[in-house]
Amino acid sequence: MSYKVVCVADHSVEKLRPFKVMSLYSGGTFNKNYNMRYQPTKVSVPASTKKVELYAVITAHGYDDKKCGEYCITSHNFLINEVFNNTLTFDSAGTPLGCTLRVKDGAVPNEAGTWLYGRGGWCDGLQVDPWRTDITKQLNMSEFESNTVLYFGLFEGKDPNPSRDPGYIIMSSFLVFYK
What confidence tens digit (pLDDT) does each residue in 95-119 have? 999 999 999 999 998 877 888 999 9
Q: Are 40 and 148 in contact (CB under 8 A)?
A: yes
- CATH number of 22-178, picked from 1.10.3710.10, 2.60.120.230, 3.30.1050.10, 2.60.40.10: 2.60.120.230
More confident residue, 81 or 11: 81
pLDDT in tens, 149-179: 999 999 999 999 999 999 999 999 999 999 9
Q: What is the mean pLDDT of residues 38-52?
A: 97
pLDDT for residue 106: 92
Model-level pTM? 0.89
- pLDDT value at residue 3: 46
pLDDT of residue 67: 84
Q: How does pLDDT run across 51-78, given as a tens digit for each residue? A: 999 999 999 999 999 889 999 999 999 9
**Domain coordinates in residue numbering, the chain:** 22-178
| DSSP assigned state of 1 | -
C-alpha pair distances (Å), 175 with each of 22, 40, 78, 81, 134: 5, 14, 11, 14, 10
pLDDT at residue 177 in the model = 98
Query: Using an 8 Å Cβ cutoff, are 94 and 64 in contact?
Result: no
Q: Are 28 and 168 in contact (CB under 8 A)?
A: yes
pLDDT score at 14: 74
